Amino acid sequence: MRAKAAGRQREIGPEPVDIHVAKRVRQRRIELGISQPKLGAALGVTFQQVYKYEKAVTRISAARLYGLSKALGVPITFFFEGIEETETKGRPRRG
């Protein structure tokens, strides 16, 4: 067996900002009455992938966030509104 290398420890789980963005995606989708399969079709992904985005299991890339903003009819900044509250509840920000 190999010994674990010394160094920075990896934190498990998504970052608070990823969770916040995921929640905003789900909130907007539901506001519009769009199903996960329908949103997935608009993005060119499966509904399972949309589920993973909404649960912050899979990080949303910049390109995908842009596509989501177009599909959901909101500016990209919509997904970050209220992020200040999330930051104060979550882990400390990395510098």
Going 38 to 43 to 48 to 53, the CA torsion angle's sign is: negative
Nearest Cα residue to 19 out of 43, 68, 67, 52: 52
Global model pTM greater than 0.85: no
Q: Could you tell me the CA-to-CA distances from 81 to 29, 44, 67 in Å, in that order?
A: 16, 26, 18
Please tell me the total count of domains within the chain. 1
In a domain, 27, yes or no: no
In a domain, 81, yes or no: yes
Angle, CA of 10, 13 and 16, to the nearest 5°: 110
In a domain, 66, yes or no: yes
95 residues of the chain, pLDDT tens digit each: 545 555 666 678 899 999 999 999 999 999 999 999 999 999 999 999 999 999 999 999 999 999 999 999 999 999 999 998 766 665 555 54
Query: Domain range holding 57?
Result: 40-87
pLDDT score for 85: 77
